């Protein structure tokens, strides 16, 4: 079975073809740049850019996979969570293509896509495992007994980890307001100069909170007179360390509580090298599974895979109505 996946939930337009026999046949991503001068994603601009780019990406993904419309068995599209207008573009395209080609379609939960992204790798994890999903909008620990059977262990009570990274990037004026810029400059930081609190780590609670930490970073940075690049690097290092040590500690607790020994790391913050390194140090290389870096951040390969899995369980959309779920909860 070959599934065309479409992703347009935020500021990445993407298309991919997944085949259950041969694996991933192609995937294309376009990261929007229209938001750079606005200091954050502007929903209306995101939707308009998806309209401009997504069909071209679908055509490219089909041609790279050497697929015609007759080779595609189903269309999977992200229906939520995400920005309503952005989701509508991909959902409308997915539904329309399915109707025109007379194929089934399936609405995919973006977070389930992230969670299943490591399944695209040669060393795919086998449930049961604990999944840490850390993205721009979510921070969740999930007990996965089987694919499709999810139990929420903990989540953020305020900012998501990725959101905190984005806000610190903006505070430090790093050019691009994303966590990868914080991670880059953090490498040059003095590891001893600042030490920020690790929020909510004094109890066995598996929830997270990053908003107080973000405020601490703000006050510390504002107290520096005429900050230079080294000051920014020192702050970035201490912030990153506080977030990562908090995530690592909660992952260890979650594994203890569930008596499981495998951890899956997914979502944009999962691209952070220091997080990967610390998890491997604490849990051992063989216990941690993650997707390749490009499948941590938003992509359609994970949507095509999650769509295929749901279709294989007998699910599909029967209605012609285009419905998006901007707050669709995974659990």
Instruction: Return the one option of ligand KG4, Zn ion, none that residue 272 interacts with (CB less than 5 to 8 A, by type).
Output: ligand KG4
- The yes or no reply on residue 159 touching ligand KG4 (CB under 6 A) is no
Instruction: Return the one option of Zn ion, ligand KG4, none that residue 57 interacts with (CB less than 5 to 8 A, by type).
Output: none
- Give the separation between CA 112 and CA 81, rounded to whole angstroms: 10
- The yes or no reply on residue 271 touching ligand KG4 (CB under 6 A) is yes
- The yes or no reply on residue 54 touching Zn ion (CB under 5 A) is no
Reduce the DSSP state of residue 47 to 3 states and report it.
Answer: helix
Residue 268 C-beta: closest distance to Zn ion, Å: 6
Tokens of 306: 């999650």
Number of residues counted as binding Zn ion (CB under 5 A) = 2
Which positions ≥6 away from 10 have C-beta within 8 Å? 41, 46, 82, 83, 86, 136, 137, 298
Interface segment toward Zn ion; rule CB under 5 A; list 128-136, 140-148, 187-195, 202-210: 128-136
- The yes or no reply on residue 137 touching ligand KG4 (CB under 6 A) is yes
Answer positive or negative: Cα dihedral of 253, 255, 256, 261: negative
271 DSSP assignment: G
Q: Which is nearer to Zn ion, 13 or 258 (CB)?
A: 13
Tokens of 289: 């599974």
Bridge-based pairing state of the strands 263-266 and 129-134: parallel
Residue 168 C-beta: closest distance to ligand KG4, Å: 9
Tokens of 314: 């007998």
- Give the separation between CA 277 and CA 131, rounded to whole angstroms: 17
Q: Which of 165, 196, 210, 328 binds ligand KG4 (CB under 6 A)?
A: 165
Residue 316 C-beta: closest distance to ligand KG4, Å: 24
Residue 239 C-beta: closest distance to ligand KG4, Å: 10
Residue 318's Cβ-count burial label (10 Å; 0-12, 13-18, 19+) is exposed
Q: Which of 113, 118, 125, 136 binds ligand KG4 (CB under 6 A)?
A: 136
Contact set with Zn ion (CB under 5 A): 135, 298
């Amino acid at each position: 079975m070959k599934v065309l996946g479409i992703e347009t939930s935020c500021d990445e337009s993407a298309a991919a073809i997944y085949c259950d026999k041969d694996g991933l046949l192609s995937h294309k991503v376009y990261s929007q740049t229209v938001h750079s001068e606005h200091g954050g994603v502007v929903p209306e601009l995101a939707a308009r850019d998806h309209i401009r780019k997504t069909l071209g990406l679908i055509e490219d993904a089909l041609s790279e996979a050497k697929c015609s419309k007759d080779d595609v068995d189903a269309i999977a599209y992200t229906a939520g969570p995400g920005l309503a207008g952005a989701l509508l573009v991909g959902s409308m395209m997915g539904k329309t293509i399915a109707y025109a080609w007379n194929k089934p379609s399936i609405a995919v939960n973006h977070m389930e896509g992230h969670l299943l992204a490591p399944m695209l790798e040669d060393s795919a994890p086998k449930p049961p495992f604990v999944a840490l999903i850390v993205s721009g909008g979510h921070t969740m620990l999930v007990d996965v007994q089987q694919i499709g059977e999810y139990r929420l262990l903990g989540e953020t009570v305020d900012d998501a980890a990725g959101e905190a990274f984005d806000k610190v990037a903006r505070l430090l004026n790093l050019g691009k307001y994303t966590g990868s810029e914080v991670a880059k400059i953090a490498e040059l930081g003095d590891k001893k100069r600042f030490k920020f609190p690790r929020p909510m780590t004094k109890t066995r609670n598996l929830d997270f909170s990053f908003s107080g930490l973000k405020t601490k970073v703000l006050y510390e940075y504002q107290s520096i007179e005429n900050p230079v690049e080294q000051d920014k690097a020192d702050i970035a290092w201490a912030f990153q360390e506080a977030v990562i040590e908090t995530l690592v500690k909660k992952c260890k607790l979650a594994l203890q509580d569930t008596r499981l020994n495998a951890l899956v790391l997914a979502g944009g913050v999962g691209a952070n090298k220091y997080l990967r390194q610390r998890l491997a140090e604490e849990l051992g290389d063989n216990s941690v599974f993650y997707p390749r870096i490009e499948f941590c951040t938003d992509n359609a390969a994970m949507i095509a895979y999650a769509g295929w899995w749901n279709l294989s369980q007998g699910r599909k959309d029967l209605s012609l109505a285009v419905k998006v779920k901007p707050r669709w909860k995974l659990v």
